[in-house]
């Protein structure tokens, strides 16, 4: 195994015999990575998992334009690993790295606070299950077997690099370890329309199906608050809306973590090579995007004093590359922490 490629032997009965079905199965399991398989000498499957090798994976025809702004010379293979701090704000190409910023905050704090509010600007809810197994107060990286402790940033960084934690699954480890998490999900599309009532966050587990069959993976589900706790392990609460002022109007006392996935503002591609055929895609004009940025910044002003961490995920293959610079420049300028020196990109 290397930092970007992993080999596994998977028992023959866990993967489909048909090549197309097997590829679909691997794609669903490893999502943000690229997996291939071939039979080994014992009739089992040798599975190789790596990062996307070409720009085609990210579907954006202007991807190189965005990467040049980010850091000249950034390769496609480096894209999943690239992050930096700029004027106190954590910014990454993939928003999975948000969990590293939160881990660093927890490590500095030295404890798990009783209650945390997460302001989640995103076109997705990111409540998927990571490729981690529960292990007491920690987790096990199913890709490497390493222990992952939420308040130990090096272990979190390694789990993100391995692909055990992905951009759709970084919230679950946080929700499983913090006593109470209040998620305010600002979304201009489906979730705001479908989830009009408050929900409870419920800690669950789901069995792994491939790398460690039946191992308990951390999962999260939503239960309408009106239905009551139903005997489940309540981890917090969740509310979705497209109205920022309403969503932020009753933020309780305590630390607030502000997470901004730029696909909240425009999700033209949604990681789909057939994006141009989607007539209902979330693709507002450049002017409308900038106006929405300014609206959100204004809505945050009354609670800025509560925000202890700001993270931005650019989301290549979702948010258009030509908008990376203007939107990031505005957000960083308006949300920056005074007196913090910018740092160079880290990988």
Task: Classify strands 83-86 and 199-207 as parallel, antiparallel or unpaired.
Answer: unpaired
User: What is the pLDDT at residue 88?
Assistant: 94
Q: For residue range 306-326, what is the model confidence (pLDDT) as tens digits?
A: 999 999 999 999 999 999 999
Rounded Cα gap, residues 39 and 46, in angstroms: 6
Strands 233-241 and 199-207: antiparallel
Q: Are strands 256-261 and 116-121 parallel, antiparallel or unpaired?
A: parallel
Query: CA 346, 305, 200: angle at the middle one, nearest 5?
Result: 85
In the structure encoding, which two tokens stand for residue 100, read together? 């590293």
pTM of the model: 0.94
Q: How far apart are CA 285 and CA 344, in angstroms?
A: 31
- Residues shown for the chain: 347
Structure tokens of 275? Answer: 């994006």
- Torsion angle, CA of 305/306/310/313, rounded to 10 degrees? -120
Positive or negative, the Cα torsion across 65, 66, 69, 73? negative
Decide if 324 contacts 69 (C-beta within 8 A).
yes
Q: Which helix (H) or strand (E) holds 49?
A: strand 45-50
Phi, psi of 32 (to 5 degrees): -75, -5
pLDDT tens digits for the chain (347 residues)?
Answer: 345 689 999 999 999 999 999 999 999 999 899 999 999 999 999 999 999 999 999 999 999 999 999 998 899 999 999 999 999 999 999 999 999 999 999 999 999 999 999 999 999 999 999 999 999 999 999 999 999 999 999 999 999 999 999 999 999 999 999 999 999 999 999 999 999 999 999 999 999 999 999 999 999 999 999 887 777 789 999 999 999 999 999 999 999 999 999 999 999 999 999 999 999 999 999 999 999 999 999 999 999 999 999 999 999 999 999 999 999 999 999 999 643 333 444 44
Domain edges within the chain: 1-50, 55-335
**6 in helix, strand or coil?**
strand
Residues in Cβ contact with 228 at an 8 Å cutoff, skipping those fewer than 6 apart = none
CB 94 within 8 A of CB 318: no
Beta partners for 169?
A: none
DSSP codes, 186-215 = E-SSHHHHH--S-EEEEEEEEE-SSSSTT-
CA-closest candidate to residue 257, choices 159, 145, 120, 150 = 120
């Amino acid at each position: 195994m290397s930092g970007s490629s992993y080999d596994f032997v998977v028992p023959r009965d866990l993967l489909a015999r048909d090549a197309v079905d097997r590829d679909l199965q691997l794609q669903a399991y490893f999502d943000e990575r690229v997996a291939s398989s071939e039979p080994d000498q014992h009739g089992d499957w040798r599975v190789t998992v790596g990062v996307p090798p070409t720009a085609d994976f990210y579907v954006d025809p202007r991807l190189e334009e965005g990467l040049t702004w980010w850091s000249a010379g950034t390769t496609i293979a480096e894209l999943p690993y690239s992050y930096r701090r700029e004027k106190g704000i954590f910014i990454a190409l993939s928003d999975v790295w948000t969990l590293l910023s939160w881990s660093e905050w927890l490590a500095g704090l030295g404890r798990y606070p009783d209650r945390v509010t997460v302001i989640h600007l995103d076109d997705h809810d990111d409540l998927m299950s990571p490729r981690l197994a529960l292990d007491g107060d920690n987790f096990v990286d199913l890709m490497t077997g390493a222990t992952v402790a939420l308040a130990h940033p090096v272990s979190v960084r390694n789990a993100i690099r391995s692909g055990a934690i992905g951009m759709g699954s970084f919230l679950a480890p946080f929700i499983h370890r913090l006593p109470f998490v209040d998620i305010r999900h600002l979304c201009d599309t489906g979730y705001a329309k479908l989830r009009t009532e408050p929900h409870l966050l419920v800690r669950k587990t789901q069995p792994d199906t491939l790398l460690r069959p039946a191992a308990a993976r951390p999962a999260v589900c939503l239960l309408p608050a009106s239905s009551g706790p139903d005997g489940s392990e309540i981890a917090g609460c969740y509310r979705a809306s497209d109205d920022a002022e309403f969503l932020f109007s009753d933020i309780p006392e305590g630390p607030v973590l502000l997470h901004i996935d730029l696909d909240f503002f425009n999700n033209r591609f949604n990681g789909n090579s057939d994006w141009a055929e989607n007539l209902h895609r979330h693709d507002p004009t450049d002017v409308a995007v900038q106006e929405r940025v300014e609206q959100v910044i204004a809505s945050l002003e009354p609670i800025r004093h509560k925000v202890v961490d700001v993270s931005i995920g650019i989301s290549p293959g979702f948010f258009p590359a030509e908008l990376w610079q203007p939107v990031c420049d505005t957000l960083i300028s308006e949300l920056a922490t005074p007196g913090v020196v910018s740092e160079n990109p880290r990988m």
